[in-house]
Structure 1
Amino acid sequence: MIIKYLHSYIILPTIFYVTFTAINISNICVIAIFILLIKIAYIDYKTYIIPNKALIILFIPCIIYQLTKTPYTSIGEIILGVLFISIIFLPVYFFSDSLGGGDIKLCYCLGFWLSYPAIVLTINLAFIFGLLTAVYLLLANKYQRNLRIPFAPFLTLAALIIYFSYNYLHYFIFL
């Protein structure tokens, strides 16, 4: 039900974002990333599959964003973000069946977009959202042994929250 109305919650803030910021290539890439993330989250919610084509299309504005944004992100921060995702998710992917390959590829796209410190916060926040959903399903007696919960909506929500609030969170976390 929430996913059905999610476009209206994203379109309005995007319009305000465009209205009150300068229109340049990096901001256009951010809007494209938002729209693609919402689309990927919706597809994952409905089908439990994240298409590779959608991830490749998402990766293109992520690359352009990193090349055109100011202040520039160092290549070391991008490498640390990708390395963090590899250390956390690859063992989970190879040794358990709890996370799909599309979710990991989506994390790589987000890691390239948000870079090192922000991707750590994004993944932690996404896991918290997933945990809260699982606890709710347990308490509502809707939990089943084979229940699958799509992870892309949580990653999308966490990425959007961290993108807009990272400067404030960074100030409070790294005092």
Structure 2
Amino acid sequence: MNRRAFGMGALAMLSLSACASASPRFLSYSGPEVTSLVVNKGARKLYLMHHDQVLKEYKVDLGFSPNGTKGARGDGRTPEGTYVIDRRNPRSQFHLSIGISYPNAQDIAAARAAGVDPGGDIFIHGQPNKRKDRKRARKTDDWTAGCIAVKNEEIEEIYAMVKDGTTITLRP
């Protein structure tokens, strides 16, 4: 094999390993069960709970219009109420995401009464994958469209610790 072919092959392998390091890490967790999540919107905190004990606490960014509960698609608000973690997306446009079961029956009824679409696709997620979106997110707190955002390393922990079906309560 000539040197040029060897060098090109080595370069290709290094670039592939660099791509792999940018993908999400799937951690494992074997500690106490996370029995619920609590978001205190006013304090900008997410708590992972084992019954009445706080296992982990995270600073969060919320929807770009953080006061009040979500009422309609596009209002930029993070919902308030009790929901469950109902899905996960390892191929999210953000660095991992776990879904929240918004809207629930009460949210749908309130939106119907107001003549609006309640919206949906509320997640806890990491930072945007696209560089231009990351710059926007760094410039301000409360930059999401209604989701709960944490740092990438933190969503990796949360993704490992929280199971689908876990209750999440979002408080003002």
Q: Normalised by the size of structure 2, how large is the TM-score?
A: 0.24
Determine which structure has the larger strand proportion and give its number.
2
Q: Normalised by the size of structure 1, how large is the TM-score?
A: 0.24
Q: Larger C-alpha radius of gyration, 1 or 2?
A: 2
